[in-house]
Structure 1
Amino acid sequence: MNIIIVGLGKMGGNIAKKLLKDNHNIIGFDSDKNQSNTIEKYGAKIIDSLEDINSLDLSPKIVWMMLPSGKITQKTFTKLLGILSPEDIIIDGGNSNYKLTRARFDDAKKLDIHLIDCGTSGGIWGLKNGYCLTIGGEKNIYEKLRPIFNSLTPKNSKGNLYVGESGSGHYVKMIHNGIEYGMMQAIAEGVELLKNKSEYKLNISEIVNNWKDGSVIKSWLIDLISDELINDKNLENFSSYVDDSGEGRWTIEESIELGIPTPVITAALFARFRSRQIEPISGKVLSAMRKGFGGHEVKNG
């Protein structure tokens, strides 16, 4: 199939490479010429602007957006609506908020343009292992795009999962990422407990490597941290600052709207917030109160 990919960074670039390997025709655009040049070497045709889509002799035009969620995705989507024609298709493979996806679907529908939301998991390893996709939107459009999804996903997945109407693909991906936050935090806390049990002089790298096989908690996340610990036993190449990309926040917002408690995911997100603070005032307030009511000794700042 002929696919126009907008956004050729780590994820979009690998998606382009994987589709090219399966003999799809890729037309790529990225504002970063270095990214474009890299994908061109793999056989993609590169266009210099979104407006160049107009000159492509394709019907329908299929545009896969692989961009960071937020303003850049909205700006690109709006621009595409002014460029594309009725029956053309936009696939949003990024981590857009599902509520925005539903609104965009309605905007596209007014112009007879189709929007498919595709939750895309697999990270930088998707090129090798295949991607896990959860797809929302019109079922008949999904079926037309199955050759694309079949090429991107593991062979036994048969193109992966159509989950429902518009927004559902991004909704499921959002919950997936919330679960991911909780799992990562539990592993991190467990490793910290092992590290601080100094009387046993535990070899953390060997222990985590042992968990990779036969353990109840064996997982890809365990594999990844095991590999890092083998190369850097104290993780000295990393800081304790941990960012978040938004899906954990949206998951918690959803839990509040639905009245469903999510203490693990919430605590995991808050741990990331705390990781970015240096000498937060809340700790100082606690120390001050303890000194005030009990005369407890405190450390000076």
Structure 2
Amino acid sequence: MRIGFIGLGKMGKPMVLNLLAKGFQVVAFTPTNVQALREVEAKGATIAKSIKEIPSKLAQPRIIMLEIPAGSPIDNAIADLSQELSEGDIIIDAGNSYYKDQIKRAEELKKKGIYYLDAGTSGGIEGAAKGASFYIGGDKKAFEIAEPIFKALAAPGAYAYFGSSGSGHFVKLVHNGLLVALLQAYGEAFAMLKASPYNYDLAQVAEIWKNGSVVRSWLVELAARAFSKNPNLENIEGWIGGGQTGRWCSTTAMEMEVPTPVINLSLDLRYLSRQVDSFAAKVVAALRYEFGGHEYKKKH
């Protein structure tokens, strides 16, 4: 199976390498990361010189996956692709787009007979390389055509079709709100241990928690990793970046009149971290680096 792929960043490059390793033929493009292009080309990818060139290197129905930032980068890529694609072709947005934007994009592309799948993606950099999870919305026929791609990129049992356009990224929106709250909760827990009268080895606590406890999770595994490398999180400033997708969750919940006080407070505390340093915020910053490669501010 031959597909196009736009975006070779922290998630895109390992996804392309994963596809190539599983026998897919990939036509790749990224506007700035020359080193990433060389890496995927060395593994067998065909390199396109521009977005508009990708469709000419694919057979119909052409499938092109996007792993690029939300907003104008997505809209610009779609504008370029839609000039070259034909009826029955498929665009998949596997980035972090807002679900209402996905509904509008799907409606516009439908006028040209082009399918648009919104595929919320999670799993971090490791998941992109070894098996992520996908929440897919859009036309059912398009999903069935593209399903081999999701099956190849997903961990076992980690992808599903949820329904009409927007449904995939709505699941991701809620997922991201949940993640904001979980990160804050774990940060506070380790801050309590750090402040206690006992000299806990936080990596040891995390190791125990990840094996059999009720609170075990991949985030606890990442905490164990982070503390084993840097027990006191030295040189990590308690400044937490991100938050846009969490805000989408919060504002959507308000529109739906669904109370989400834990998510909302966790967002507020994330913003507070940019004014007041705390160990809990350091934990969150360290975990975000472990799962997504999100850079943290270093203390000088």
TM-score by length of 1: 0.88
Partner of 1:141: 142
Partner of 1:250: 248
Contact 1:97 1:250 in 2 (8 A): yes
1:196 paired to 2:195: yes
The correspondence for 1:232, drawn from 230, 233, 241, is: 230
Contact 2:120 2:135 in 1 (8 A): yes
Q: How far apart in 2 are the matches of 1:4 and 1:250?
A: 29
- What is the aligned length? 276
Deviation at 1:91, TM superposition (A): 0.3
Off by >3 Å, runs of 4+ in structure 1: none
Instruction: Give the SS at the match of 1:145.
Output: helix
TM-score by length of 2: 0.88
- One-letter amino acid matched to 2:202: I
Unaligned runs of 5+ in 1: 280-301
Partner of 1:124: 125
Q: How far apart in 2 are the matches of 1:234 and 1:55?
A: 53
Q: How far apart in 2 are the matches of 1:210 and 1:55?
A: 53
Q: How far apart in 2 are the matches of 1:171 and 1:239?
A: 32
Instruction: Give the SS at the match of 1:269.
Output: helix
- One-letter amino acid matched to 2:145: K
- One-letter amino acid matched to 1:234: N
Contact 1:17 1:127 in 2 (8 A): no
Q: How far apart in 2 are the matches of 1:271 and 1:210?
A: 27
1:213 paired to 2:214: no
Q: How far apart in 2 are the matches of 1:56 and 1:237?
A: 47
Deviation at 1:53, TM superposition (A): 2.3
Partner of 1:9: 9
Deviation at 1:242, TM superposition (A): 0.5
1:31 paired to 2:10: no
Where do residues 95-174 of structure 1 align in structure 2 (5 Å cutoff)?
A: 95-155=96-156, 157=157, 160-174=159-173
Q: How far apart in 2 are the matches of 1:233 and 1:195?
A: 10
- Larger-Rg structure: 1
Q: How far apart in 2 are the matches of 1:109 and 1:64?
A: 17
Structure with the bigger RCO (C-alpha within 8 Å, sep 6+) is 2
Deviation at 1:264, TM superposition (A): 0.8
Contact 2:135 2:159 in 1 (8 A): yes
